[in-house]
Amino acid sequence: MKTLSFPGLVAIALFVNASQSVAQEWKSGVEWQEPPLVTPGATDNAPPSDAVVLFDGRNLDAWENGDKWLIENGVATANQSAITTRQRFGDIQLHLEWSAPTEIRGEGQGRGNSGCYLMGLYEVQILDSFRNQTYFDGQAGSIYKQTPPLANAMRKPGEWNTYQIIFNAPQFRGNGDVNRPAYVTLIQNGILLLNNFELHGPTSYTEAPHYKPHAETGPISLQFHGDAVRFRNIWLRELKPAVGRRVSPPFNLPMPPKPGESGTGSQKPADEAQPGKSGNTNSQTDAKPTTAGSKN
């Protein structure tokens, strides 16, 4: 077997080292639309400029059966029946604040029980889980009977809890099969309780979860479970994916010519590349064209 001479190895090492030391900027080949401007609220709990406000302390007109709940001092108290939004939603970022009754009554599932039903089907549990034992996949922040939360982040009865819920609605194929299951992320009082949890289907007290095809949007429902759970400051944002258009495969920018040279680099620039030949096939980038540039 022939081996390379020492000078040969040195030459290869120098060549590799030289080629690695030349940094050429990498470009994705996707022209992204400019993200929409959203003006934040005065605080992170206040609705931003693009929010759909579902309860601002004045009335529950956005909800069916909202007239059955009691409203006082900007706070709505669960009463008589569940309430359900008139409007329907798909992927959302939902903010709500809730408080278990100050006076402790009952125990386990019978203490401070409500729930936030996404699309009217998928319950993020609301329960007074402050020093209150119950089955773990039924405590506050659980997906009811599917997973416990990653932590118990409860404040005391009577104090206010914040839920930030990010929900991705399930998608179904034409034949009814699940194309994408639903996912939920939940942060309670700044603490992550559900980390992009994949739902197994609708939550139920009596049935194992299994998906049944349904519309792309659905209402949000707040449960009445016999307990005077209080709510305030409820709003959401409808989520839309970033939009871009692939205009070329990914590429590195050409090397600038050295003084006195007229050549170009070895990499193809965007206008020489052939779109669609390779690279990211993320459906977000197959959407409508954009006029946005590709500046950093």
Residues at the interface with Mg ion (CB under 5 A): 113, 115, 223
d(CA 39, CA 77): 30
Compute the least distance from the CB of residue 287 to Mg ion, in Å. Answer: 38
CB of 55 to Mg ion, least distance (A): 18
**Rounded to an integer, what distance in angstroms lies between the CA atom of residue 218 and that of residue 90?**
7
DSSP-derived 3-state class of residue 286? strand
Residue nearest to Mg ion (CB): 115
Say how far apart CA 130 and CA 189 lie, in whole Å.
13
| Smaller CB separation from Mg ion, 115 or 201 | 115
CA angle 242, 247, 249 (to 5 degrees): 100
Burial class (CB in 10 A: 0-12, 13-18, 19+), 217: middle
At its nearest, how many Å lie between Mg ion and the CB of residue 293? Answer: 49
Give the shortest CB-114-to-Mg ion separation in angstroms: 6
The smaller minimum CB distance to Mg ion, of residues 31 and 123, is found at 123
Q: Which tokens is 216 given?
A: 């792309």
Q: Bridge-partner residues for 227, per DSSP?
A: none
Least distance in angstroms from the C-beta of 124 to Mg ion: 9
Smallest gap from residue 225 Cβ to Mg ion (A): 5
- Of the pair 162, 290, the CB lying nearest Mg ion is at 162
Minimum CB distance to Mg ion smaller for 29 or for 141 = 141
Rounded to an integer, what distance in angstroms lies between the CA atom of residue 226 and that of residue 78? 8
User: Which residue type is seen at 74?
Assistant: G
Alpha-helix residue ranges (DSSP H) falling in the chain: 6-21
Residue (115 or 244) nearer to Mg ion, CB: 115
Buried b (16+ CB within 10 A) or exposed e, 229-260: bbbbbbbbbeeeeebbbbbbbebbebeeeeee
State which residue, 115 or 170, has the beta carbon closest to Mg ion.
Answer: 115
Residue type, 213: P
Distance from C-alpha of 114 to C-alpha of 193, rounded to nearest angstrom: 17
Residue with smaller CB distance to Mg ion, 228 or 273: 228
Least distance from Mg ion to the Cβ atom of residue 112, Å: 10
